[in-house]
Every structure is written in structure tokens, then in C-alpha cells.
Amino acid sequence: MAARGASLTIAAMNTLTSSCAAPSGEGATPPLPCIAVLATGGTIAGAAADATNTSGYQAGVVGVEQLLSVVPALSTVARIAPEQIASVDSKDMTMPLWTTLVQRINTLLATDGIDGVVVTHGTDTLEETAYLLHLTVKSDKPVVLTAAMRPASALSADGPLNLLNAVTVAAHAGSRGQGVLVAFNNKLHSARDVVKTSTYAVDAFQSPEIGALGWVQDGRVEFQRAVVRPHTLATEFVIGPKWPHVEIVASYAGVSRIAVDALVAAGVRGIVVAGTGNGSIHVSMQQALADAASQGVAVVRSSRVGSGHVMRNGAAADDALGFVSAGSLNPYKARVLLMLALAAGGTGPVALQKTFDTY
């Protein structure tokens, strides 16, 4: 499942004119919302040689127009402005592509005629991209990500209904101001909370700590709780051309300090630890991380467990070692926030802890 194709350059995208056809004729009813559908690849755009193959397919080979063409019901929900941003397997997501995506979404949402954005994406890194957008999109218009666990060519492909539901959510007035959303398998998740929890199940996305935000079914959208932490317009984060180098290490039985020392020697600005339990770290690795922190590398403790909070480790212990707690962010989302915080000039464990406690 190799990545296919490259993302468009910013220059090329600036020549795109995303817009929806206006209704024609006198007395035309008010137009449906105009939703830009930005395709990036993934299994939702995947194809295999036969319809029963749901594992040996190529991701990101079906174009956005074709994805839309198999969902005629879209025309009853919204007017669609499609764009092919990239054609990648999301396991191969890159930071330059993230920059392109954020900039394009911000440009589109600043346009009067665009009412919302849907991003089609691979499932593998969807939770990272979603959280990045949640922190860097500068608009309260809806942004909804969706994906699929079965390729477009499969029997009972889940992509078409997920796409219809995502556009339905993006076109729904109540989705405004909720931050970036993920519509998947009839559930509606906040970008901050959602994670992929199954390698193969169609119900592959959950918000393990506090549950889904709501649901979408048969054209009906319902929110059951609100997003409390700041996002989109309320953050200080902007995408710049440079991404601070932040990597992830894991703690486990018998782990050595080799990986941490190598990363410090390579010049990383930050390290996120996928710790055991409450973000606890093997004594050998902990010493290496304390040494890293004393040299100015940001060290963030998260957990490999999959749900729950990482509490500050007896404040004194974290203070003494110079570590920051990721709270309820998993290691991959903690890395996104740490990169943005460092890019925004955040330094030192006290300021960084405040950032993690806020977002």
C-alpha cells in the first residue's frame, strides 16, 4: 500500500477556484450550503482487484470526483466544491502536506461562498491531522474529517455513507463553533478526543476517555455534549513553514536509554514518551530523559494505555525531572501539540505544562 502521487503545491492551489454553482432562475429557493470536499487519499479512495479484498488494496487511487459520483444523495444536502489536495496513504502523511492542508482550509473558510469543509483522509493518522486542524484552523465554520475502513471497490464499502454523513454534518448549522469534527460510522467525535481503536472493524474510531460528541443518521445530526477546551479561533497556534523536530519513544520492560540518547544527539527539540500506566517510565529511560530535559529538550509524559489521564507525577517528581504531563492526549496527539507549542515559542516545563493543561 505505497503512497501514490504528490500533494499539490501552494502555488498550484492558489489557482484553484473552489466554488459551488449558484441556483439559477427567478424564485430559486435559497441555495443549499456550499461545502468544499478536500480529498487527500486513504482507504476511502482505495481500490483492490476484486470486491472481496479488504486488506490487499492500494490506498489513495480513486479521485475525488469519482468518490462523489457514487453518492447522488449529496445533491440533496449541499452544493459541493471538490478538490484533490493529495493522493496518499495516510501512514505516509508528512508535515509539508499538513501545512498545505491547513493553509488551503483557512483560505477556503475565509471565502464568503464556502460554508464548510470536509476532508477525506486515511484512517491511520486521521486522529493526528484532525487534532492539528482543531488547533490551527482559523474559522468557526464546520470542518469535518471522514475516512473508511474498506476500500471504495469493496462489497459494503463504508466510505460512501461516511462521506454523505460528513457533508451532512458540515452543512448543519449546529456544527459551527464545535471545533474540528470526525464523522465516522454514524458517530460524531471531537478531533481532540477521537482515536483509531481497531485495525479492521468498521466501527474503528472511538473517543475512549469521554465518548462521542453526538451522532449523524439519515440526515439528522445531534450533538449530545459541547467541546470545552479552546480550539480553532481561540488558540494562539498558526502554521509556519518550519516544524520543530519532536519524536516519540515508548517505555517497556527492559527498555534502554539508547533511543533517547540518539534523539538528543540528533538535535530534537522535544520527546514525547508513551509511558506505562500513568505515564510512568522505566528507570533507565527516565534518567536519559532527565538528562535530555536538563539540556533544554522538552519532555512530555503520555501513556501507551489508550485511555485515562496522565496525572502529574507527584508534582515534585515532574518538577525535579523537568517533565510535562500530556493529560488525556495520547502520544501522537501530544506530539502535535508539542510541535505547535514549540513553534509558537513555548519553552520550559512550566509554560509547556500550561499549554497541555489548556488544550
Binding site for ligand ASP (CB under 6 A): 1, 41-43, 59, 89-91, 122-124, 147, 149
- The residue (of 147 and 264) whose beta carbon lies closer to ligand ASP is 147
Name the catalytic one among 43, 99, 125, 146: 43
The answer to whether the CB of 1 falls within 8 A of the CB of 57 is yes
Q: How many C-beta neighbours within 10 Å does residue 301 have?
A: 30
- The residue (of 64 and 149) whose beta carbon lies closer to ligand ASP is 149
In the chain the beta strands, taken as DSSP E runs, fall at 34-41, 79-88, 116-120, 143-146, 181-184, 187-190, 195-196, 205-206, 214-217, 220-223, 246-250, 270-275, 298-303, 323-325
The answer to whether the CB of 128 falls within 8 A of the CB of 192 is no
**Residue written as grid cell 439559477:** 24
Q: Please, what is the minimum distance in Å from the beta carbon of residue 8 to ligand ASP?
A: 18
Q: Please, what is the minimum distance in Å from the beta carbon of residue 88 to ligand ASP?
A: 7
Is position 123 annotated in a ligand binding site? yes
* Integer Cα distance of 299 and 329 in angstroms: 14
Q: Please, what is the minimum distance in Å from the beta carbon of residue 131 to ligand ASP?
A: 16
Q: Please, what is the minimum distance in Å from the beta carbon of residue 64 to ligand ASP?
A: 15
Instruction: State residue 275 phi and psi, 5-degree precision.
Output: -80, 170
Is position 319 annotated in a ligand binding site? no
Is position 115 annotated in a ligand binding site? no
197 catalytic residue (yes or no): no
Name the catalytic one among 40, 54, 120, 123: 123
111 catalytic residue (yes or no): no
| Nearest residue (beta carbon) to ligand ASP | 122
Q: 296: which 3 cell numbers?
A: 533544554
Q: Please, what is the minimum distance in Å from the beta carbon of residue 28 to ligand ASP?
A: 39
* Integer Cα distance of 185 and 203 in angstroms: 6
Q: How far separated are the first and last CA of the chain, in Å rounded?
A: 34
What SS3 state is found at 264? helix
- The residue (of 184 and 223) whose beta carbon lies closer to ligand ASP is 184
Binding region: 90, 123-124
Question: Which residue ranges make up the annotated binding site for substrate?
Answer: 90, 123-124
Catalytically active residues are 43, 123
